[in-house]
Amino acid sequence: MKITLHGCRGSIAVSSKKFLKYGGNTSCYELTAGNTQIILDTGTGFQNVSFKKNYKKIVLFSHLHHDHIQGLGFNSNIFNPNCTIKLSSALCEPKELRNKLQTYFSGSYFPLNLTDQLKNLQFQNFSTTIKNNKDNILIESMEMNHPGRAFGYSITYENRKFVYLGDNEFVPSQMTELCNFCKNSDVILWDGMFNNKDLADKKGWGHSSIDQGANFFNKVNCKKMLITHHAPWRTDYELDKIDLELPEGIELASDGYTIEIK
């Protein structure tokens, strides 16, 4: 199982010399297992995904806030009629998913109507997506605490487990369910958009803190945690300072980061 991070920034893409190390692209993560390629969200990092020939291709959306979908129309692979991509989400049925993406990628908001023009983009029930895979990949979902609803995903292949917790405002009542969902995981992607100072002013915004991630890591059986969804105002300099204080087993995610789980 191989994990590649294409977009680790939250809310809005950023671009300047202050954001080169950790990257400025919004949420997009890639997992390959067997002959299956799974993309988790299509923020601006989606433009850098290279789809593999003869692989089954799946896009799973955690939710449909703009920073998790805005890159869908900017990957040249999707304009290849021979590149069939299944789009799915635990959030909603395929008809609703298609309609919402159609609104965003047509008319006043985008020059092309992607969902009508690209027949290779095929919308599928989440229940169908998780059952129809020849590589015996187990995909499970858990609802997060986020405005408008969002879902995290657990992906297990050959006894290796990756967990994407998406956008989530951690509350203590989640602890038991989260621990069960993440039990025996090899890698967890944790929404660490805020620090504890930010949390005081951002209650209800739908995101967790880096310190909350470290606390959770100490309570769950997990080998590695990657802190992602970095605040758009958090510079490389600030993130470097945070990185120096992180306990062993926890790292800051960055665009282009790759890890192979063996």
pLDDT at site 178: 96
Say whether pTM exceeds 0.85: yes
Interatomic CA distance for residues 190 and 152, integer angstroms: 10
Beta bridge partners of 121: 85
pLDDT at site 133: 72
- The structure tokens 């949420």 sit at 27
Tens of pLDDT along the chain (262 residues) come to: 999 999 999 999 999 999 999 999 999 999 999 999 999 999 999 999 999 999 999 999 999 999 999 999 999 999 999 999 999 999 999 999 999 999 999 988 999 999 999 999 999 999 998 886 777 899 999 999 999 999 999 999 999 999 999 899 999 999 999 999 999 999 999 999 999 889 988 999 999 999 999 999 999 989 999 999 999 999 999 999 999 999 999 999 999 999 999 8
Interatomic CA distance for residues 150 and 91, integer angstroms: 6
pLDDT at site 162: 98
Letter string b/e over residues 185-205, b meaning 16 or more CB atoms within 10 A of that residue's CB: bbbbbbbbbbbeebbeeeeee
pLDDT at site 192: 96
Of 129, 27, 134, which Cα lies nearest the Cα of 85? Answer: 129
6: left (phi over 0), alpha (psi -120 to 50) or beta: alpha
Domain boundaries, the chain: 2-260
Q: Which two tokens stand for residue 145?
A: 């605490």
pLDDT at site 131: 83
Q: What is the largest CA-CA distance in the chain?
A: 49
234: left (phi over 0), alpha (psi -120 to 50) or beta: beta
Q: Yes or no: say if 45 and 71 are a contact pair by the CB < 8 Å rule.
A: yes
What CATH code is assigned to 2-260? 3.60.15.10
pLDDT at site 87: 98
- The structure tokens 């939710």 sit at 63
Amino acid present at 232: P
pLDDT at site 252: 98
pLDDT at site 107: 86
